Amino acid sequence: MSKNDAMVRALACDGKVRLLALEATRTTRELAERHGLSGRSARLAAEMTVANVMMAAFLKGDERLSLQLQATAPNAAYLGEIDADGFFRGRLTPAVIPEVTEVDGLLLSIKHTAVKELYRGVTAVEHESIEAALNHHLKTSDQVAAIVRIQVDMVDGAIERVYGVLAERLPEDKDRPSLDAAEFEQRLGPLRTARLEAPVDQIWQMEWLDMPVEPLEERFIRYRCRCSREKVESTLLGLGEGTLTEMRDEDHGAEVDCHYCGDRYLFTEAELSELIHRFTAGPQA
């Protein structure tokens, strides 16, 4: 594997199977650390992040993939976003959830750019694991024959290793026949129960199950939020003079936390006064 979190896309079985293999250990550790997650909450966040990365494998340009989970059992919510360059940000709340392995709720995926939505898909998660829910989502929404595996190893409630593998049977086209369902299961079925360290490493080395693997793309995965003090200032200016004045005179300042990364931006009375001046002076100030 790479020393950094990364995902590789490749072809196997003479171009009849598409593979994704990824490690997201560092990214999910940072997510857990930023939001105080441990135990089951850290595991669920890691599983959802792997799903987020997998579903974003074919993004290009300025496209982004947002993945949301609104769970009723356990009562938890996940929100993650990744772009075509592999920059990811996300969060899960609450920080403590019950130690259960199955989830009930709704899984929502949205492909979009900064200005418009390109695709939206909703899948019910009905008393199953995130791995099972993603398999179901790909089968019903994308109508592909695939095997999805997610492995999150924990030590004393903390994330140790995070892996993901997707093997997808490609449809037949004029230049390439397709594997039939029985052959796909015979050749790739063992992946359903295998530990993922070896498959991920072998795919990374372009040799898997005693067959060559044809590389298509390698993409690094990094935790990076797009928030900034300038963007927060713009948001505060959008609240208007009255709200800014109330913050200054009654609250004696403002405190804004980024929903994704948890970074905190503090504004003093003097800084709010400057924002009020900018608002009243107009765009030329």
**Per residue, what are the HEC states of the chain?**
CCCCCEEEEEEECCCCEEEEEEECHHHHHHHHHHHCCCCHHHHHHHHHHHHHHHHCCCCCCCCEEEEEEEEEECEEEEEEEEECCCEEEEEEECCCCCCCCCEEEEEEEEEECCCCEEEEEEEEEEEECHHHHHHHHHHHHHCCEEEEEEEEEEECCEEEEEEEEEEEECCCECCECCCCHHHHHHHHHHHHCCCCHHHHHHHHCCEECCEECEEEEEEECEECCCCCHHHHHHHHHCCCHHHHHHHHHHHCCEEEECCCCCCEEEECHHHHHHHHHHHHHCCCC
**223, 248, 266 - which closes a domain:** 223
Q: Establish if 201 belongs to a structural domain.
A: yes
pLDDT value of position 143: 67
Q: How far apart are the C-alpha atoms of 234 and 120, rounded to whole Å? A: 28
Q: How far apart are the C-alpha atoms of 37 and 148, rounded to whole Å? A: 25
Residue 146's domain is classified under what CATH number?
3.55.30.10
**Residue with the two structure tokens 């019910």:** 124
Q: Establish if 90 belongs to a structural domain.
A: yes
Same domain, 144 and 258: no
Strand partners, 168: 18, 146
Q: How far apart are the C-alpha atoms of 278 and 168, rounded to whole Å? A: 54
**192, 223, 254 - which closes a domain:** 223
Same domain, 187 and 272: no
Same domain, 28 and 98: yes
Same domain, 124 and 241: no
Same domain, 21 and 139: yes
Q: Establish if 270 belongs to a structural domain.
A: yes
Same domain, 129 and 270: no
Same domain, 42 and 183: yes
Q: How far apart are the C-alpha atoms of 35 and 78, rounded to whole Å? A: 12
Bridge pairing between strands 87-93 and 222-223: parallel
Q: Establish if 55 belongs to a structural domain.
A: yes
Same domain, 47 and 164: yes
Whether the CB-CB separation of 121 and 138 falls below 8 Å is answered with no
Q: Establish if 1 belongs to a structural domain.
A: no
Q: Establish if 46 belongs to a structural domain.
A: yes
Q: Establish if 206 belongs to a structural domain.
A: yes
pLDDT value of position 136: 82
Locate 282 and state its tokens. Answer: 């107009």
Q: Establish if 88 belongs to a structural domain.
A: yes
As averages over each run of 10 residues, the pLDDT of the chain (285 residues) reads 80 91 96 95 96 94 96 95 96 91 92 94 90 83 82 96 94 80 88 92 83 90 93 91 93 90 91 91 62
pLDDT value of position 142: 63
The number of residues making up the chain comes to: 285
Residue 244's domain is classified under what CATH number?
3.90.1280.10
Same domain, 254 and 121: no
Whether the CB-CB separation of 274 and 253 falls below 8 Å is answered with no
User: Which range of residues forms the domain containing residue 269?
Assistant: 229-281
Give the global pTM: 0.88
**223, 252, 268 - which closes a domain:** 223
Same domain, 208 and 250: no
Closest CA to 67 of 80, 56, 57: 80
- Specify the number of domains making up the chain: 2
Same domain, 89 and 134: yes
Whether the CB-CB separation of 137 and 81 falls below 8 Å is answered with no
pLDDT value of position 181: 84
pLDDT value of position 177: 78
Same domain, 103 and 128: yes
